Chain A
Amino acid sequence: MSSDKTVRSGLRVLLVEDEIMVALLLEDMLAELGHAVIGPVASLGKAVEMAQSEALDVAILDVNLSGKEVYPVADTLAARGVPFIFATGYGNGGLRAAYRHLPTLSKPFLRRDLLRVLAEACPAKHV
């Protein structure tokens, strides 16, 4: 687990997810990794609001929020310069073209997958 060392603990992570079981799993994993979870938020409006207002290091965004796409949140975050990670069952092929190059967490995922995408989104030197 060499990648663990590159991620610093104590990140403030915005979690946007409309399914409770997945949200719980991520919360557990992030908590185990020593990060603080902001959310989880299931509604798009609230997520956008929080993406604007909260102090954040990174965000994990479920692409599909009850049939609505999460891109307004991503746009808001991108505008603020906050890195974010898409969590999706579609794989990165299902993403809007502008975001296809960003790290993606493909469901279901292993803890090391989560670590890897966090490390990619928040490289250690940056932290």
Chain B
Amino acid sequence: MVRQKQNGKSRHGPAEDRRSAPGADRHTASPSPGKDDLSRAALVVGLGASAGGLEAFTTFLTKMPPRSGMAFVLVQHLDPVHKSLLVELLSKHTAMPVMQAEDGTAVAADHVFIIPPNATLTIAGGTLRVATPAPPREHRKPIDAFFSSLAEDQEENAVCIILAGTGSDGSLGLQTIKAHGGLTLAQAGFDETALLGMPSSAAATGLVDEVLPVERMPARLLAHARHLHDMNDRKAPDGTRLDAAEHLAKICVLLRARLGHDFSEYKEKTLVRRIQRRMQVLQIDKFPAYIERLRKEPEQLDLLFHDLLIGVTQFFRDPAAFAALASEVMPKLTAHKKSSDEIRIWVPGCATGEEAYSIAILLKEAMIKAEVTPRVQIFATDLDEHAIAAARRGRYRKPLAGVSPDRLARWFVNDGDDYCVIKDVREMCVFSAHNLARDPPFAKLDLLSCRNLMIYLDAPLQRRLMRTFHYALRVDGYLFLGASEGISRHGGLFTVVDKKHRLFQRGDVAASLPSAAVGAAPAQRHPAAAQQPIRPSGDDVDLRARHAVEKYSPAYLVINRQHEVLRFSGRTGHYVEHSSGAASLGLFTILRKELLPAVRSAVQKAFATRQPVVHDDMVVAVNGHRKLVTLIVEPISEEPDAELYVVAFQDRGIVGGEGAAAETAASADDRVRALEKELRAMRQQLHSTIEDAETINEELKSSNEEYQSVNEEFQSANEELESAKEELQSMNEELHTINGELNSKNEALADSNSDLKNLLDSTQIATLFLDKDLRIKNFTPAFAEIFHVRATDRGRPITEIVTRLSYAELKRDVKKVLRSLSMVEHEVVAAAGGATFVMRIRPYRTVADVIAGVVITFVDISDRKRHEEERARLAAIITFSKDAIIGHSLEGTITSWNRGAEHIFGYTAKEAVGKPLAILLPQSQVDEAPQILERLARGEQVENFDAGRVIKTGERIDVAMTISPVLDERGTMIGASTIAHDVSERKRSDELRVLMVNELNHRVKNTLATVQSIAAQSLKGAADSKSREAFDSRLVALSRRHDVLAHGCWERASLRDLVLQELGPYQSENGTRAAVEGPDTGLTPKAALALGMAFHELATNAAKYGAFSKPRGRVRVAWEVQGSSQPMLRLTWTESGGPKVAKTGHKGFGSTLIERGLSLELNGSVRLDLDPGGLICTIEIPLPDGGGGPANV
């Protein structure tokens, strides 16, 4: 439902004066037909609700068809902090897109926009504007703010709806909507009256078009939109109906009949616009139907009346005129005033108070200049009570046109979107509702400012007002009028002070209050008609006839209710008597004294009854004759508000006197004369008393009016208090809500506080919170433990306390952190304990991102430090080890490579790391690696095996390797390390040594063979074969012992081997001839040689002479080692089964060799016993330390 809309923008420029009372709405449209808002919404509906209005809004949305062509903007009182869930909540109730308003969002039809939290939402050019943050809570009127902008932006396409809510927000905005021709609705409760709170506050403005239950609002909006659409066709380009003019007169008559205000002289277009708007609201599109409605429902007239009175004025409107006022009038008003004096000013038609406040400011400035402090009362009145209410608030939207920055600063308080008039100025002004045309005026005024008001009034009313003003002003009081107003017809009443700026001064002319301005009678609308009866007719015959008859007709006077004489007939001279002093037209001042009582009573009777009063037989003394006169007082005007009376005297001729009557009359005459004299005196007295009473009466009326104004002021103050009370109630409600919120926040805070406390208590990291002055704010138990601080140390400067910390630059570091906002880290040592800490200083940021100090944490790194040292030591060992130490993964990839490895294998660490271990394996052993890794995987250590490896040059080397698994703390193998020791050198030298020993043995043997050969050659023929055999035998035995020793690498020789070597050749095949028993005992080479020699001699001897010389002879060799500290070898050689041996004295070479050799060389003892069974040789030799161990064979 898209329609074309006349976007009739109306901006009220400075030249345009908007007034009310009796009202002038200068709403002239400046149409902008070129602007086409096809894409825009047909209607922009603003909905205002406070927190409780959600339900109403959901109901509204549920009932609203999604394709209405309207846009909806919800303005709610939201908590500024909390995220609103409205979008989600409302989306469930309508098919229209619901979104939170953002700055710059174009208001599109069939969309719902929601005010964001903590923001002021307005609309301009069909686009939403979001300003954050919102003003402080006490000034927050988001609904007013939005409605005001909506009114100005959308004019008659604006709709505002006040939904449930507390307070009065929205009421002001609603007035603006209304002023711009928009529709205003408020939510009704179940009883069809406005809900309490915002809807009732809105309804109280009287500007709500309809109070409806929320369910019926969508239908109402649709009808409104439809009607608006239909009407567009019948409008002139300026938006006024073409057929309106003819019906205006009837409407004006109806208005006047009901309200006494005549709008017939208003600008036609203004009237038409206002009336159209009312018709729009009522959805009536034909004027006759509307007129019919007005007749049937008189309250519609009241509503129309209200609409007609909407108006706005401006501060210091027409600056030159105000300047003149300031320079011409104000100094005179303030001159020579004492503080007991009073300055009284009246501003009728003050509208929303700008003019009154402007004058107050000027007066205040003049008072300061003149240094006087009189009492000041500025009565500011207007017909429109709503305007008065606004004036009383003294709060005006920014920007304030016409007010200089100096005055703004001096006389206004900047308050959010508004300027407020300061209290001093506000208190000078008394605002009240007052009908200038009907209500009595204020009196004794020093200044009366009535600008641009009378131009809207017709001439008679203007004249009456001028008289009223004349009455109200004191002598020399000033009158300040608008630029196009003047005093032309009342030149006698006022003198001109400044013609250009319309400043006048009241002359010293007796003043009286125009009658119409006094009583409660409605304003005189047609005074011309009232005068008609006494206006001479233009008919010539009539005129002459009247002249002819005149001398026979009674003399008469025409008076009004104020006893002023308006007309004299020609022959009133008999009845009228001009007294000396100021000229007067007052009936009772010009009437002859003797007529006064009778005329007064007749006039009063006629005034009271409005019927003719005829008084016959009145005797009047004329030229010494006594004449009989008939007095007639008759009302001649039908107009109830402009009563005129004719006072006629009909001459009935001279009273005739008979003789008797004259005589008796003579004495009586004296008495009568005396009485009449007395009566005259009484009458005079009475007359002046009556005049006094009338004057007092008039003054009382003025005072009464003043009291009424003051009373109204009190009432308005009372109303203000009431609304303040309401505001307090809603504030209280808000506070309750906030309190609830705070409670839940408090709980949340308590929770997080508890969490925080537990965190602080359980953390092992010593933490210290300092403020900017290095004072302790808080610390963890771990910190208290290390630095011995107590809870009572909170608030003390850290520099006083932390003596255990051997770190002097703390203060400087904290300053640095606060300046750079970056972390500072140091290693510090706690002086006493010697524990090492890492101290980190970080800025302390509050939740609001304010730096409020620093946080210092201390992490104990003593263990880490030890580990680091240990690690460094191990690393040095690894680095500088001659052995290759290679780390590798389980897959065999090299991960580390020390210098030893570089040295041994030739690869640099760079080359080796990342390569497989297999690069070190010779081609033939490539499959060795997986086997080793497999063993490792089983957790085995592969220890100390020799292996061949290939180095970088391709050369092959021998290494001794140990491969150990590397386990993590859970015992899972994460890699392996290989230690390889280069053994090529050792191997070579081992081989060389073996080679040399073998060579040496060979050499020795060869040498022995050579000796044998030499002996054989030398002794050829010289010695017997026995001797040669013995020699050979001993030489070979020596050679065999040599073998044994060579076998033991010249370190150890086996005793058993030595024995078996010698006994071997004699052993029988079944092994019974020679028995060898004893523990395996190792001998030093020296002992082995000596013992071997002995065994050889014993065996040779046995073969020659002993047991081995007989087939059944046997030899048993047995030994044992005794003692442990000084081990002794004890060996016995026992022969048996040999031939009987006789003891010989000859001691042979053999026995000498045995006995002496062993005792000399080995410090042992030998005993040779010749037993009958055979030889027994007992040998005891000490074994050197360790010599008793097993032979290394």
Contacts and interface: CB of A to CB of B under 8 A. Distances in A.
A64 B1002 contact: yes
Interface string A40-75: 000000000000000000000000100000000000
A91 B1043 contact: yes
A97 interface: no
A19 interface: yes
A90 B1011 CA distance: 17
Interface of A is mostly: mixed
Given A21-B1013, A21-B1014, A25-B1013, A89 B1036 contact: no
Contacts of A22: 1006, 1009-1010, 1013
B1033 A110 contact: yes
B1001 A108 contact: no
A89 B1033 contact: no
A25 B1009 contact: yes
Contact of A109 (B998, B1002, B1009, B1014): B1009
A113 B1012 CA distance: 14
A111 B1032 CA distance: 9
Contacts of B1029: 110
B1011 A108 contact: yes
B1062 to A, nearest CB: 14
Nearest to B1032: A110
B1050 to A, nearest CB: 15
Given A89-B1004, A90-B998, A108-B1008, A28 B1016 contact: yes
Interface in B1151-1185: none
Contact of B1006 (A24, A94, A107, A110): A107
B1001 A89 contact: yes
Contacts of B998: 90, 94
Contact of A107 (B1005, B1017, B1033): B1005
A88 interface: yes
Contacts of B1003: 89
Interface string A77-98: 0000000000011110010000
A32 B1172 CA distance: 41
Nearest to A18: B1006
A106 interface: yes
B28 interface: no
Interface string B1009-1036: 1111110110000000000010011011
A36 B1032 CA distance: 23
Interface in B213-245: none
Nearest to B1039: A108
Interface string B932-967: 000000000000000000000000000000000000
B1006 A89 contact: yes
Interface string A18-35: 010110110010000000
A19 B1009 CA distance: 10
A25 B1016 contact: yes
A2 to B, nearest CB: 13
A35 to B, nearest CB: 17
Contacts of A110: 1029, 1032-1033, 1036
Interface size on B, as a range, is 20 to 34
Contact of A21 (B1002, B1004, B1010, B1039): B1010
Nearest to A64: B1002
Contacts of A21: 1009-1010, 1013-1014, 1017
A89 B1004 CA distance: 8
A27 to B, nearest CB: 10
Interface size on A, as a range, is 10 to 19
A106 B1009 CA distance: 9
Contacts of A108: 1005, 1008-1009, 1011-1012, 1032, 1035-1036, 1039
A127 to B, nearest CB: 25
B1002 A94 contact: yes
B1002 A19 contact: no
A90 B293 CA distance: 152
A89 B1013 contact: no
Contacts of B1032: 108, 110-111
A19 B1010 contact: yes
Contacts of B1014: 21
Nearest to B1014: A21
B1057 to A, nearest CB: 14
Interface string A96-107: 000000000011
Interface string B978-1002: 0000000000000000000010011
A106 B1013 CA distance: 14
Nearest to B1011: A108
Contact of A24 (B1002, B1011, B1017): B1017
Nearest to A25: B1013
Interface string B231-263: 000000000000000000000000000000000
A50 B1181 CA distance: 55
A64 B1009 CA distance: 14
A106 B998 CA distance: 14
A64 B1003 CA distance: 11
A101 B1003 CA distance: 23
Given A22-B1009, A89-B1003, A107 B1039 contact: yes
Nearest to A26: B1013
A110 B1010 CA distance: 13
Contacts of A24: 1013, 1017
Q: Which of B1009, B1017, B1035, B1036 gathers most chain A CB within 10 Å?
A: B1009
A111 B1011 CA distance: 15
Interface string B448-489: 000000000000000000000000000000000000000000
Q: Which of A24, A25, A111 gathers most chain B CB within 10 Å?
A: A25
Given A25-B1012, A108-B1039, A110-B1036, A89 B1017 contact: no
Nearest to B1004: A89
A64 B1005 CA distance: 13
A107 B1001 contact: no
A22 B1017 CA distance: 11
Given A21-B1010, A25-B1009, A107-B1008, A90 B1039 contact: no
A94 B1039 CA distance: 16
A106 B1016 contact: no
A90 to B, nearest CB: 5
A46 B1001 CA distance: 27
B319 to A, nearest CB: 136
A24 B1002 CA distance: 18
A22 B1011 CA distance: 9
Contact of B1005 (A28, A106, A111): A106
Contacts of A19: 1006, 1009-1010
A111 B1028 CA distance: 11
Interface of A: 19, 21-22, 24-25, 28, 64, 88-91, 94, 106-111, 113
5 closest A-B pairs by CB: A89-B1005, A89-B1002, A25-B1013, A107-B1009, A21-B1013
Interface of B: 998, 1001-1006, 1008-1014, 1016-1017, 1029, 1032-1033, 1035-1036, 1039, 1043
17 contacts: A21-B1013, A22-B1009, A22-B1010, A24-B1013, A24-B1017, A25-B1017, A88-B1005, A89-B1004, A89-B1009, A90-B1001, A90-B1002, A106-B1005, A108-B1009, A108-B1011, A108-B1036, A109-B1036, A110-B1036
Given A25-B1017, A108-B1009, 6 more contacts: A19-B1009, A21-B1017, A22-B1010, A88-B1005, A89-B1001, A110-B1033
